[in-house]
């Protein structure tokens, strides 16, 4: 357990803490701008993963016809459908988990940033000693110690503490809304009703989950998440445009009607429709009468043949 804590501190916490402090000093002792610039740097570092995610989504979109063919061929056999689908993915060099790369990277950063904001934007002066112990010694050329304690104010918000109502509610709305838009633009289309149901559930569950929990976060975390989502939406726009975002609330296609009136019937007046119906009825009756007459003639007994006459 001690090894895990040490690795977490040295790989996640200390690099993020020193990066934020350096950016804070460079950008005029403004922690809000430091968090925004830090978010941009993180998105630039994870850009290869984002591009890989886009390529994976494109490849899976191209495989949709084959996936429908597999579902139709092995309809009713879910195990065989899953087996053939995974084999198709392997042959195409596509992994469904490849679309989760940026999210997997973002979560440790979000958790680490939560700890960093608490350790840097403190209110107790005694915590300054703990901050100095985590700073790299080779950063002595920067006036870091002169900048301490760090100013947590940005746009009237204390980035090191949760906002009171209604400010926290507004931040939660932007966190959930930006998350929903990004997920909607990166959602992979599918023809499987079960996968579509799961995607729709995640489309709403994740934004609501993050929005509710962000109300208790230090306001610097919602700022980071909103900026990160806006950058992700911008990247996705330059790749796919706004197409995946619309329609916002797709509706199921209506079932085709069983009896569709023809265009000729729609253009006819009521009198013409009555005449047309009566003519069809007369033709039907004539056909029935001819058929009935032929049957009677066929089954009518022939008189005078084969009978004994006296």
Q: Could you tell me which of 224, 186, 223, 219 has the C-alpha nearest to residue 203?
A: 186
**What local confidence, expressed as pLDDT, does residue 208 receive?**
92
Please give the pLDDT value at position 167. 84
From CA 85, how far away is CA 91, in angstroms rounded?
10
Let me know: does 135 contact 144? Beta carbons within 8 Å: yes
8 Å CB contact between 60 and 188: yes
Go through 158-183 and write b for each residue having 16 or more CB atoms within 10 A of its CB, e for each that does not. Answer: bbbbbbeeeebeebbebbbebbbbbb
Residue ranges covered by each domain of the chain? 162-245
Q: What is the reported pTM?
A: 0.69
Percentage of the chain exceeding pLDDT 90:
10
Q: Residue 222's CB: how many other CB atoms inside 10 A?
A: 26
Each residue's pLDDT tens digit, 98-119: 556 566 777 788 888 888 888 7
- The pLDDT tens digits for 45-97 are 888 877 777 777 777 777 778 888 887 888 777 788 888 888 887 887 777 66
Low-confidence ranges of the chain (pLDDT < 50): 252-271, 274, 294, 307, 309-310
Q: At what angle do helices 193-214 and 220-240 cross, to 10 degrees?
A: 150
């Amino acid at each position: 357990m001690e090894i895990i804590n040490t690795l977490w501190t040295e790989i996640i916490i200390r690099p993020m803490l020193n990066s934020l402090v350096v950016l804070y000093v460079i950008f005029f002792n403004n922690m809000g701008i430091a968090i925004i610039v830090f978010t941009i740097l993180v998105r630039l570092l994870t850009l290869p993963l984002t591009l890989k995610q886009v390529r994976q989504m494109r490849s899976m979109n191209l495989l949709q016809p084959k996936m429908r063919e597999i579902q139709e061929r092995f309809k009713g056999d879910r195990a065989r459908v899953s087996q053939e689908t995974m084999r198709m993915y392997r042959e195409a060099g596509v992994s469904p988990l490849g679309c989760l790369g940026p999210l997997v990277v973002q979560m440790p950063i979000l958790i680490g940033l939560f700890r960093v904001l608490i350790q840097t934007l403190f209110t107790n002066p005694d915590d300054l000693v703990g901050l100095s112990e985590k700073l790299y010694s080779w950063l002595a050329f920067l006036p870091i110690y002169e900048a301490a304690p760090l100013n947590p104010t940005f746009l009237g918000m204390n980035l090191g503490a949760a906002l009171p109502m209604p400010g926290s509610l507004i931040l939660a709305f932007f966190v959930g809304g930006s998350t929903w838009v990004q997920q909607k633009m990166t959602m992979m289309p599918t023809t499987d009703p079960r996968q579509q149901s799961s995607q729709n559930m995640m489309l709403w569950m994740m934004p609501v989950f993050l929005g509710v929990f962000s109300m208790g976060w230090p306001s610097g975390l919602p700022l980071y998440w909103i900026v990160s989502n806006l950058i992700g939406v911008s990247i996705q726009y330059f790749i796919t445009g706004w197409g995946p975002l619309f329609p916002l609330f797709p509706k199921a296609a209506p079932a085709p009607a069983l009896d569709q009136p023809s265009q000729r019937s729609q253009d006819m007046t009521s009198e013409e429709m009555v005449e047309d119906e009566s003519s069809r009825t007369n033709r039907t009756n004539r056909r029935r009468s001819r058929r009935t007459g032929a049957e009677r003639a066929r089954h009518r007994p022939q008189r005078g043949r084969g009978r004994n006459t006296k």
